[in-house]
Amino acid sequence: MSWLDRIRIFYGGGSTPSASSSVPEIDASSGALALAVVAAAMLLAWEVRRRKRA
């Protein structure tokens, strides 16, 4: 399978060999946790940058 075939399958332009979907499901609590991690990383980066200027 070439990289182009994989892109087509990923975007729904083809069919996968198996009948099951390979896209992971994410529930609300996992999504909220992921957003909290991203927000914490952004706040940490902002604080480090702010302290370097001071």
Query: Who wins on pLDDT, 11 or 50?
Result: 50
With bands split at pLDDT 50, 70 and 90, how would you rate the model's confidence at 17?
low
**Residue 14: C-alpha distances to residues 8, 9, 28, 41, 53 (Å):** 6, 5, 29, 37, 52
pTM value?
0.52
Q: Measure the CA angle with vertex 25, ends 21 and 26; round to 5°.
A: 165
What distance in Å separates the CA atoms of residue 5 and residue 14, rounded to the nearest whole number? 8
- Does the pLDDT of residue 36 top 90, yes or no? yes
